[in-house]
Structure 1
Amino acid sequence: MYSPIDVKTSADIPVPAQMKAWVLGGPDELFLRDKPTPVPRRAEVLVRIDAVAICATDLEIIHKGSPARIQGGLPFNKNFTPGHEYMGTVAALGPEVDEFRIGERVSVEIHAGCGQCKRCRQGMYTSCLNYGKPEKGHRANGFTTDGGFAEYAVNHINTLVRVPDSMTDPEATLVVTAGTSMYGLTELGGLVAGESVVVIGPGPIGLLAVAVAKALGASPVILTGTRDKRLAIGKELGADRVVNIAQEDPVEIVKQLTGGIGADYVIECAGTEQTIAQAIHMTNRGGKICLAAFPHEPVTTDIAHLVRNNIYVFGIRGEGRSATHRAMELMAEKRFDATRIHTHTFPLADLPTALRYARERVEDAIKVVVTNREASMMASAAAE
């Protein structure tokens, strides 16, 4: 029986003492196990996970371990539950929590900063100086603390975004992806109406960066990549021009479309030496570049061009500065259809297959979603 002291529950949403969760064994090993259902503490709620999307970072964590442990020289985190792009239903409230009600549908941000370091006080909680230290109050679900490939997870109230009734469960899992795209535009200044924006790389973040930029009034919005099917989805999400870089020179095309001067903003979502060089040379003087991808190897690039042309470069991590809230508002108002990037759905029990589809891009998979409950799937279908 799940009845911890000072935690509020409801008979309408019974919570078991034990839950099913996928846990890491060794690298590339996942096992479905019984784990104690976690208990929310002060300023936390227990979320019954209804759906979770798979991110490329999940695949890296399953293969190599969490970034915080790798950087800290710690061993592979066995018994850890990954998964961070999830949504669900509030199932229990921590002590004195009254900001949310049991039964509310919520989507989640990944990061809850410690709330006390210099960066958190500046609102930069994805750059928390106590990153990876839960004893200091930091949480990054699916990275440093147990995540969403399970029946339940604990979340800080600051990470919760209410899901409107009109939105399906799978769509609600995409708010983190849209929020990351929104965060990139926020860090570039946010005022993109009438400005030219190039997005490099038609992955999930890149495609939704096109959608968010267009919803905010950017013009023209240009998307570059190598996969024609994904570039076509970019057109549907608002790209004014798409460029297959295997067939056209993206730097030249961008300059042609911007009167020869280059783009005001470039969001680089591919993370290769070639595409970073393209970003630098297609940005106009005084323009801004957001690096939203993680290069796997050190990159050599033309720093002198950045300096000579007073080009600003920003790196982002995750979905900071409450960008998910703004992204959710755009999605709720149907300013763009994030579900265009959702390609496959599997039950949580079939997570290994879902991961294979995401890893190997089976059937050109973009966003693969696993659903946790049959009832959740039925509710989503009814909403559609």
Structure 2
Amino acid sequence: MSATTSPSLPATMRGVYLPGDSTASVRSVAVPEPGPGQVLLRIGAAGICGSDIGYIYREHKTHRGVEGPAYRGVIASHEPSGTVVAAGPGVRAFGVGDRVVVYHIAGCGRCDACRRGYFINCTSPERAAYGWQRDGAAADYLVADESTLIALPDELSFVDGALIACGFGTAYEGIRRINVSGDDDLLVVGLGPVGLAAGMIGRGRGARRVIGVELSEERRAWADGLGVFDATVAPGEAGPVVAELTGGRGTSTAIDCSGSRPGRSTAIEHIAEWGRLSLVGEGGTLETEVSDPLLHKQVTIYASWVTSLPAMSELARSLVRWGMRPESVVSDRFALSDADTAFRLAAGAGRGKVVLVPDLDG
């Protein structure tokens, strides 16, 4: 390789592809070579995100209003973490042996959004998301732009890193926007992986009470086992519990991770006067009477879409300081060879997060 390289790299590797028919196939492909400003990672863990299921796994859908399907037939997964095993020309900040998380979109690097670290909002034709328009993490190796890397602290595992790469980053941005602190109670609606992350981050930032609302009894039981939530309830039971824990006021902060109209309505119903509401769940609609639940209560609504690269790096350091491990929300780990089973579980009614760990194959 025309790069700084660790010894004994194989010629081929495995990669997971999503044909769009609710299956995942493992193929043998050549190990890629990093170009200028790029590194080659040996993948330590790759997460399976709900957006992969909704837009790629079942069928290849349009996303972000772009013409044609969002998925370009590349290796799946936009939640990578791993170890640098080769560095291309011009790489400066990272080298062979470094443990990293990959911000899951590579932007043009020149627009205002990119210069602020929000590659997610880059509108250039050069914008490419790992696992959507360029090869992703569901493989043994991944070529990544150095500009998308953040350091993975030694105290965190590769599974921790994969979760930071998307779900925890998304939750962190939502929690940052409403500035959860020790003065606040936090209501989390939707206890999928992002909701679990929001609860953990809210607790890490000092929230007095964290209350979870989730339709699935199995997911509520899984959330209870994390030791983060003061209570987890079904939507129809939220009123009395929130009233009891907040002295009848409602919660000063709330975050909807459900992406559903009923979930958002639940968050609005139980937010306190002068409350701050964060919307991070994709899809669905927002339908509400305005005067009583919003205007008269002086509610502020924030909407966010993933986080910035600097904030993602901040999150990794904060998790260490809080003594929190994202991997605690993982309910199932699979080898790459079992990718079809892993995606099938992630697309069903799983308890927590599903991840792929290449080393499980031995």
TM more than 0.5: yes
Q: Indicate which of 170, 186, 190 corresponds to 1:197.
A: 186
The whole-number CA distance in structure 1 between the counterparts of 2:212 and 2:221 is: 10
Determine whether 1:125 maps to 2:119. yes
Q: Indicate which of 80, 83, 103 corresponds to 1:86.
A: 80
Match of 1:357, SS? helix
Note the C-alpha offset of 1:333: 4.0
The whole-number CA distance in structure 1 between the counterparts of 2:314 and 2:204 is: 11
| Paired position in structure 1 for 2:129 | 140
Asked whether the 8 Å contact 2:62–2:68 carries over to 1, the reply is no
Counting matched residue pairs gives 358
Q: Over aligned residue pairs, what C-alpha RMSD do you find?
A: 2.6
| Paired position in structure 1 for 2:339 | 351
Determine whether 1:22 maps to 2:10. no
The whole-number CA distance in structure 2 between the counterparts of 1:117 and 1:279 is: 35
Determine whether 1:244 maps to 2:254. no
Residues 66 and 26 of structure 1, relative CA distance in 2, 3 Å threshold: closer
Residues 76 and 216 of structure 1, relative CA distance in 2, 3 Å threshold: closer
Determine whether 1:302 maps to 2:289. yes
The one-letter code matched in structure 2 to 1:103 is G
The one-letter code matched in structure 1 to 2:272 is N
| Paired position in structure 2 for 1:57 | 51
| Paired position in structure 1 for 2:95 | 101
Q: Which residues of structure 2 form unaligned runs of 5+? A: none
Note the C-alpha offset of 1:200: 0.7
The whole-number CA distance in structure 2 between the counterparts of 1:287 and 1:319 is: 22
Note the C-alpha offset of 1:350: 1.2
TM-score, normalised to structure 2, is 0.88
The whole-number CA distance in structure 2 between the counterparts of 1:147 and 1:75 is: 17
Asked whether the 8 Å contact 1:38–1:154 carries over to 2, the reply is yes
Q: Indicate which of 18, 22, 35 corresponds to 1:41.
A: 35
Note the C-alpha offset of 1:320: 2.7
> Deviation digits for residues 242-290 of structure 1, max 9, x if unmatched?
22324x1x24532443333322211101122111111112222332211
Note the C-alpha offset of 1:43: 3.0
Asked whether the 8 Å contact 2:36–2:89 carries over to 1, the reply is yes
Deviates more, 1:318-327 or 1:87-96: 318-327
The whole-number CA distance in structure 2 between the counterparts of 1:97 and 1:76 is: 29
> Deviation digits for residues 47-101 of structure 1, max 9, x if unmatched?
1112212121221222232654x73231574632221122111121122212112
| Paired position in structure 1 for 2:26 | 32
The whole-number CA distance in structure 2 between the counterparts of 1:59 and 1:350 is: 16
The whole-number CA distance in structure 1 between the counterparts of 2:334 and 2:39 is: 26
The one-letter code matched in structure 2 to 1:312 is T
Asked whether the 8 Å contact 2:83–2:96 carries over to 1, the reply is yes
Match of 2:327, SS? helix
The one-letter code matched in structure 2 to 1:65 is H
The whole-number CA distance in structure 1 between the counterparts of 2:42 and 2:344 is: 25
> Deviation digits for residues 138-157 of structure 1, max 9, x if unmatched?
23212332211122222222
Q: Which residues of structure 1 form unaligned runs of 5+? A: 378-384
Note the C-alpha offset of 1:110: 1.1
Deviates more, 1:270-279 or 1:70-79: 70-79
Residues 84 and 202 of structure 1, relative CA distance in 2, 3 Å threshold: same
TM-score, normalised to structure 1, is 0.84
Determine whether 1:231 maps to 2:220. yes
| Paired position in structure 2 for 1:187 | 177
Match of 1:64, SS? coil
The whole-number CA distance in structure 2 between the counterparts of 1:75 and 1:339 is: 31
Q: Any residues of structure 2 matched to 1:146-185 within 5 Å, and which?
A: 146-176=135-165, 177-185=167-175
Asked whether the 8 Å contact 2:24–2:339 carries over to 1, the reply is no
The whole-number CA distance in structure 1 between the counterparts of 2:177 and 2:212 is: 19
Q: Any residues of structure 2 matched to 1:223-302 within 5 Å, and which?
A: 223-235=212-224, 236-246=226-236, 248=237, 250-295=238-283, 297-302=284-289
The whole-number CA distance in structure 1 between the counterparts of 2:298 and 2:113 is: 26
Determine whether 1:219 maps to 2:176. no
The whole-number CA distance in structure 2 between the counterparts of 1:167 and 1:157 is: 20
Note the C-alpha offset of 1:116: 1.8
Residues 35 and 360 of structure 1, relative CA distance in 2, 3 Å threshold: same
Asked whether the 8 Å contact 1:179–1:326 carries over to 2, the reply is no
| Paired position in structure 2 for 1:331 | 319
